[in-house]
Each structure stands twice: as C-alpha cells, then as structure tokens.
C-alpha cells in the first residue's frame, strides 16, 4: 500500500466536524467503520464507495449517508474532494480519528 498526502483539512463548528480530503484518481480512503451514522459529501469528482462489499458509484455533487458499523472505503475514479461530516464535541485534530473511527 502506498500512502499519499490527502491534504486533509479539519473543519469544526458548534458540535459538527467535517474532514476534507483530496483523493487523487486511482487512490483509496482505507476501509473503516464508525459507531454512528454520518453524512459524507462528494464535492468534486467521481468515486466508488464500497459498504460491506456492495459498491456504488457517485458523481459530484452528491451526499452519501454511511450507516453505523458499516465497513466502507472510497475509491477515487477521478481527482475528487470528499468531506466526512460527523456530530461530535471533539475539536482536537490529533484526537478526532480516535474519537470517530472504530479501532483508530
């Protein structure tokens, strides 16, 4: 696996957190799970989202709901910008993944 810089930007506002990622064509956001439903926004590009083995293609702009405890990954088919949006009071970028991602 090749690790790349996803140019992550953290956005915090009154109990809402959004992680902004730039996914170059051909790259993945690795498979992970959350303990609660959350919304993701595809702001640019085209991606395949695989949830528990089922794959669906999305074209920007689009909004995707990811259900709790569902293993999911994002595969960029074109250069893409993806936002994961969560309800949380955590505001420390160094702790946010541990708070939101199972097993992080």
Domains in the chain, CATH or no CATH each: 18-100 (2.60.120.10)
Q: What is the pLDDT of residues 17-51, one digit of tens each?
A: 999 999 999 999 888 898 889 999 999 999 999 99
**pTM for the full predicted model:** 0.89
Q: What is the pLDDT of residues 48-89, one digit of tens each?
A: 999 988 999 999 999 999 999 999 999 999 999 999 999 999
Work out whether strand 9-13 and strand 54-59 pair parallel, antiparallel, or are unpaired.
unpaired
pLDDT at residue 30, rounded to an integer = 84
- Per-residue pLDDT band for 2 (boundaries 50, 70, 90) equals low
pLDDT, averaged across the chain:
93
């Amino acid at each position: 696996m090749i690790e790349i810089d996803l140019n992550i930007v953290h956005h915090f506002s009154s109990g809402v957190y959004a992680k902004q990622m730039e996914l170059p064509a051909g790259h993945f956001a690795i498979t992970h799970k959350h303990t609660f439903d959350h919304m993701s926004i595809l702001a640019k590009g085209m991606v395949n989202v695989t949830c528990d083995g089922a794959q669906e293609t999305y074209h920007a702009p689009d909004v995707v709901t990811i259900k709790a405890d569902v293993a999911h990954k994002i595969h960029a088919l074109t250069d893409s910008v993806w936002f994961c949006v969560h309800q949380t009071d955590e505001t420390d970028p160094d702790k946010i993944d541990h708070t939101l991602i199972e097993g992080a």
